[in-house]
Chains A and B, each alone.
Chain A
């Protein structure tokens, strides 16, 4: 079955710097790759997603890139702010309407 690996497990950056989180997936049939942000004690919230027919997607300060050949995708956050501090999860899904398989999560700390 699908396996998603996520790196790094923790990331500390200075406010205003960029942060990059990387994920690799194992199932070449995966076609949907969302990213979720989870603040302490709260529910995971979808922040951006990308489908397999697109190589890059951007929404203000966040962007996601997908390399299908290498089977990896990355989240880029620019101009980080303290409120970006949270746990970020990548996920992948293959087929249609199937479960999301999540990475282990990255704790992002933005220091002001």
Chain B
């Protein structure tokens, strides 16, 4: 157990539907990052939150949105789903404290495998 919890582990849904993926970061980690990993592709950055605020956006589609709540858990909402959205979605957290001293590696959750049929 990495300490980063993602639910659900698997999700099968139809095109046009909307789903919500949930992530609880490691205890004490303020930064949450979402990545998409499609077949034969690497890890594509979607969005980052730090202490409840959006900090950076990557190649996130307008159909996708996310938020981080006061208890630091985060949710990724995917709407109007298309076949091409089928992928493994990872959440990661980092112990970065906001200070310009060190960067830290992420700890990844086990991912949510989304299949759109």
Contacts and interface: CB of A to CB of B under 8 A. Distances in A.
A101 B104 CA distance: 13
Given A44-B90, A45-B108, A46-B107, A99 B43 contact: no
Size band of the A side of the interface?
A: 20 to 34
Contacts, number: 61
Contacts of A45: 2, 108
A103 B42 contact: yes
Interface in B83-117: 90, 94, 96, 98-111
A99 B98 contact: no
Interface in A43-102: 43-46, 49, 51, 89, 93, 96-102
B28 interface: no
Nearest to A47: B105
Given A99-B48, A100-B45, A43 B108 contact: yes
B58 interface: yes
Interface residues of B, number: 29
A34 B2 CA distance: 17
B103 A51 contact: yes
Contacts of A97: 31, 50, 55, 94, 96, 98, 103
Contacts of A101: 45
Contacts of B48: 98-99
A104 interface: yes
A100 B31 CA distance: 12
Nearest to A30: B103
A34 B105 contact: yes
Contacts of A42: 110
B11 interface: no
Nearest to B91: A43
Contacts of A44: 43, 90, 108
B56 A98 contact: yes
B109 A43 contact: yes
9 contacts: A42-B110, A43-B90, A43-B108, A43-B111, A46-B107, A97-B98, A98-B56, A100-B105, A103-B42
Which 3 pairs from chain A and chain B are nearest by CB?
A32-B103, A97-B96, A43-B108
